[in-house]
A and B are shown apart, each in its own frame.
Chain A
Amino acid sequence: MGWRLTLRPYFLIVPALLLTCGILYPFGLGLYYTLFDFSASKPQPDMVRLHNYETVFTQDAFWNSAWVTVLYAVGAAAVETVLGVAVALLLHRSSLVGRVLEKILILPLMIAPVIAAIIWKLMLQPSVGVVNHLLKPFGLGGVQWTDTPTGALLSSIAVDVWVYTPFVAILALAGLRSLPTSPFEAAAVDGAGWWYTFRRLTLPMLWPYVLVAVIFRFMDSLKVFDIIYALTEGGPGDSTVVLQIRAYLEAIRFQRYSFGISYTIVLWAVVYLAAMVLVRHLGRIQRKAAEAK
């Protein structure tokens, strides 16, 4: 009996351990490959140590991709957070419309992002797309959405916002519904206005939930591939070539495996650091919110 009890905790973590190994093994292997010059034209590679990383960091293409990735991630996460919280606040008011909208809201999340991007690509097509058709009466029927660098980036962010704002809204709505009612009742008795209540009560207590949504969306946006690739393929020029697209092109299209994986390792480091900072910040916010309750 004794040995069973001793081993039980280890058995319980076996599934998690297997899952972790499933993630960490290819990660470790990928890290190892980056120390070589492995490519289709060199299937028997030589050890080059950190040369791939040196090349990555000295390329203009990398810094351009890193900048585009950050712009995309910050832009998408910021807009989705503001819109998501606003939608959640609207839906929180119990009404028939709110309940119906709540069900409809989840629909974009049920569409694969790559499909959403293809649908939006058709809708944004200047000559036959529905968006320009609807804008025509306002004299805006000739907009070429993805033909300019700024337009392509904003259009990609817009598709991301369309797909993922409901995710933020659902998390924020769950947070709103779990907030204690007594502070709000006390504020109402004291005659506090809507804005004061929102700023001083709702937002501080809701912040941990919002931050969880921000962490998920920011990290996910740093890793974006599908939406941009389906919408612009990284163009025009290099204007929407984010790090994942650069890694895909290098490793799969151009078959420079070690070099392409180096890009993904750099991206991993960026996501890791961002996650560390945000998760630590979340801990602080959670403690503050708990004290406020």
Chain B
Amino acid sequence: MDMHAHDRRRFLALTAGAAATPLLAACGAGFGGDDKKSGGSAANDVTGSFDWKREKGTTLKALLNKHPYTDALIADLKSFTAKTGIKVEYDVFPEDNYFDKLTVDLSSGRASYDVFMLGAYMVWQYGPPGWLEDLGPWMRNSSATGAEWDQADFFPNLLQSDQWTLKDGAPLGQGGQYALPWGWETNVVAYNTEVFKKLGLKPAETFDELREIAGAVKKKAPGAGYDGMYGIAVRGSRSWATIHPGFMTMYARNGLHDFTVEGGKLKPAMNTPKAIAFTEDWAAMVKQGGPPSWTSYTWYQCSSDLGAKKAGMLFDADTAAYFQAVKGASPASGKIAFHPGPKGPDGSLATNMWIWSLGMNAKSKKKSASWLFLQWATGKEHLHKAAITGNHIDPVRKSISQDAAYKDKMRHLPGFLDTFETVVDQTKIQFTPQAQFFDATTSWAAALQEIYGGKNAKSVLNGLAGDLASKVD
């Protein structure tokens, strides 16, 4: 009897423990991925003259992230269906869950979604396992691609950012085209003109000035009628997303690198003496003029604080400030101006960027229709409409950035167009492409938090570099 009771308890404990194991194994990540590249592209099957109606009657499935760019796309989907006869069904997820959903879906090897949004950094993660269709053959096939798509109209640095050889450390702009740039964000400084005027401040031209101004705003603004205002909003959560906007932009303007390539091997470079000094300065700037509870700050809090007049400046994506600056969007709208931000010691305005791109599932059974969709969504007609009638700012096409209607629309935002034009040629992905990007930048963000918390920068960054060296080897 006791034996039975004992067995029952053992069983209960065993199953309780087993339930502790999340169903990672069953959530799709199974062996059977394909690391062999097929010799021929499905693009070669498309022959004859180009025809938008070629795949009439097909239904595509798209996975989209909740974003104003997405809203503009969805609002215009009827035009795509009218033009091609292709229907698009879509799921929209908030950014917090979006990439987990996409990762799990792609890793399952299913073709649940034919097309999806991704960032250029994701190419480094999704490209090597063969989850992304190489769009190069589609772009080069005149039967599959209409002449009006006009590849030369894209800003070349954007198109190149989605192009890679899939080899860690190899520069972008070579190899397969694994996604198409669709909308992007450059990282600059936005500031509250009202506060700056009241305190007699001017936008910073050097990093030292930025630190001083951030500290001055935090010290003086509350006494000047801006209760609780601090100097500068920058991201600080323990996430890869903390590193890539303001921090990486200023890091690059100081001539610093995340990794160096020596003898074909990647070597972490975030612990060089200059990098350590810069990281200490960045943490000191946050302490001096940054937000309270900085270690939980994501783009959303940064953007909201600028709009709510809680932050005097924002060093982040220009879109994060734009959506607060448009008329009626926030208490600070009409009082937000844009500036390229501090220059590096040698005058560099090297700027890191985020590119919302569109990609095609390599396992899709509807590649021809998917390509028509990608062509339309990144084409001049839709992007022009999205920029003028929607909030699809930061055009990936040169023709739209020079368009009179676009310029008219953006002109009312002080400094936006000038800033855009000043940094556009120096804006590129400043990271070294490599498959462990998300691990490296998440660990880097954790290190930044520790330095902010008072730990020795040299020892923390040496530890980070040592840890990453073994992972990227």
Contact = CB atoms under 8 A, between A and B. Distances in A.
B107 A40 contact: yes
B450 A236 contact: yes
A75 interface: no
A269 B17 contact: yes
A227 to B, nearest CB: 14
A260 B310 contact: no
Contact of B24 (A30, A121, A269): A30
B447 interface: yes
B13 A279 contact: yes
B294 interface: yes
Interface stretch (A5-13, A194-202, A244-252): A244-252
Contacts of B347: none
B18 A27 contact: yes
Contacts of A231: 296
A23 B13 contact: no
Contacts of A146: 293, 295-296
B20 interface: yes
Interface string A13-57: 000000010011111011001001010111111000000000000
Nearest to B34: A43
Contacts, number: 176
Contacts of A203: none
Most buried by A among B35, B296, B445: B296
B9 interface: yes
User: Main SS of the interface on chain A?
Assistant: helix
A72 interface: no
Interface in B21-48: 21-26, 29, 31-35
B447 A127 contact: no
Nearest to B18: A27
A147 B25 CA distance: 35
B438 A254 contact: yes
Given A30-B25, A261-B25, A272 B17 contact: yes
Contacts of B125: 40, 255
Nearest to B308: A128
A248 B104 CA distance: 12
Contacts of B292: 125-127, 142, 144, 147
Contacts of A130: none
B435 A41 contact: yes
Given A255-B107, A269-B17, A279 B9 contact: yes
B13 A249 contact: no
Interface string A234-272: 111110000010011101111101001100110111011
A217 B116 CA distance: 41
Interface string A199-222: 000000000000000000001001
B24 A261 contact: yes
Contacts of B228: 127-128
6 contacts: A30-B21, A33-B25, A234-B238, A237-B455, A247-B22, A279-B9
Given A235-B449, A251-B24, A255-B103, 5 more contacts: A26-B26, A43-B31, A236-B452, A249-B442, A261-B25
> Which 8 residue pairs are nearest across A and B when measured between Cβ atoms?
A43-B33, A235-B238, A272-B17, A30-B25, A126-B292, A275-B13, A26-B26, A236-B449
